[in-house]
Structures are given as C-alpha cells and as structure tokens.
Amino acid sequence: MSFFSDAFHLFVRSMKKLVRNPILVFFSLFQPIIFLLLFTQLFSNLGRFISGGTLTYTAFATAGIVLQNAFSSAFQSGTAVVDDIKSGFLAKMLATPVNRSAILFGRLLSDVFRVVAQTVIILVLAFALGVYPATGIIGYLLVIFTVAFFGLAWSGISLALGLKTKSAETVFGIAGAVTFPLLFMSTALVSLGFMPGWMQNVSNFNPISFAVNAIRNPITGCNLDLTVCNIGFDWGTILQAFGVIAGIGIVTLGATLYLFRKVVS
C-alpha cells in the first residue's frame, strides 16, 4: 500500500502547488481558448470546403485544439520536474522512506488529472459554440480518455528532457521545436486535402494526426476523410490511434523511467 499511498500524497501536493499558482492554469488554457473563440471564427468559411458543408469549422477544429492543450500540459511536466530538482524538493524526498516509483507516478497522475480538467473546460466551451458530439456522452468520455492517454505519453518527452538537461528553458525550447511543427503538419487544423503533397506524406505518418483523427470521430461522427457522417464510432481509426499512442508512451515513458532512476541513484 505504500506505493499508492505515497503516490496519492504526492499527487495532492502537486495539485495544491498548481492551485496556488492559478496564473499557470490560466495561461495554459489561454491559447487553446483563443484558438477556439477566434481562430475558428476567422476560418469559419473553411467548413464548407473541408466537409462539403456538413460540418462547421469549429466542429472540425475542436479536436485539434483539445490536443493542443495536451501539449501545453506536457511542457509543464518537464519544467515542474526541473523545479523540484533545483529547489531541493526531490533531494529531500529521497532522504525519506517514500517509494521511489511513487514520486514519478504521482507526478504523472497530476499531469493526467490536469489534462482531463482542462479538456472538460474546452469541451464545455465548444458545446456553448454549438459543437455537439455525434456519439453522445460515450463520445465525450472517449475523447477525454484519448486526450489523457496522449497527454500522458507525450509528457514523457518533456519529463525526459527535464531529467536529462535540468533546464526549464531547454525543455520549452526543444519540446516546442519538435511539437509545434508536427501540429501544423497534421490534420489538427486542416484536412489532408488542403495540404501540399510533401506535407500530406508527413501527416500520414504524423502521430498527432492519428490522435486527432481518433478524437475528431466521436465529435463529428464522420469517417476519416469526412465524406460520410452519421456513422458513429470509427473503431478502425480509434484503435489505430491507440496503438500509435501506446508505442509513443512505451518509448517516452521508458526513457523517463530510465533517466529518473539515474537521478535518484
């Protein structure tokens, strides 16, 4: 029971730390909300081209905006670890009988909880803008689970960078340089047909495209290329995305666990 008890108390500590710094939560949500409120309105006419008028652009882009929020939370994971190392908190924890694995698990648990809470806020705002999931409450739950799963896997990049470099600036610099080009070369904000040929080739192998497609299907109820809607769940697309996300998680969290063990030893 020590593992779960220690992980829970470290999770509560992370939540208290977050609550005491609400400006961090605000700015992590600020960019996705701006995208949802302004970006989708600016390009609202794209809806008739993307899906032949079946979908609004807001309904199309909500999946990409939700996933973008997961990126922001993933960036904070690595910087939080750097802060714990530099402040001496991690060293103090290692001087106690706390379960070593629980230190990392508690950190990951708080990251997942934050992603879920922020995703719910964005989905509620999207609902107010007229985005109603075609697959109902089960679709909502699947979207939240997929985003949390992706955020957990992707946070491994940020955590590994933080443990390796022990520099918050380096975490933001490298993670931003990797993830944002991938975001814009995916189907997050435009459909595959709007991209130039070389970008389509990148998008076909881009893990972000797989995740976005799996999130978009429960929201829109459309197939992968948006030619047929009202089909319900496209399990082929969803399960393929889960496989890709699981692969990312094995690599990134495996690297994080390896580096964490080196730090605590």
Residue 1 has pLDDT above 60, yes or no: no
State the total domains in the chain.
Answer: 1
Which residues span the domain enclosing 234?
A: 2-264
The pLDDT tens digits of the residues spanning 210-254 come to 999 999 999 988 878 777 777 788 898 899 999 999 999 999 989
Residue 161 has pLDDT above 60, yes or no: yes
Inter-residue contact 70 to 115 (CB < 8 Å): yes
Q: What is the mean pLDDT of residues 135-158?
A: 90
Q: What is the mean pLDDT of residues 185-193?
A: 86
Q: What is the pLDDT of residue 225?
A: 77
The pLDDT tens digits of the residues spanning 45-94 come to 776 777 666 788 888 889 988 988 887 777 777 777 888 788 788 888 87
Residue 189 has pLDDT above 80, yes or no: yes
**Residues 47, 57: Cα–Cα separation, whole Å:** 4
Inter-residue contact 218 to 134 (CB < 8 Å): yes
Q: What is the pLDDT of residue 214?
A: 93
Q: What is the pLDDT of residue 79?
A: 77
Neighbours of 242 (CB within 10 A): 18
Inter-residue contact 44 to 61 (CB < 8 Å): no
Q: Dig out the tokens for 12 from the structure.
A: 């509560």
Task: Return the percentage of the chain with pLDDT > 90, whole number.
Answer: 16
Rounded to the nearest 5 percent, the helix, strand and coil shares of the chain are 80, 0, 20
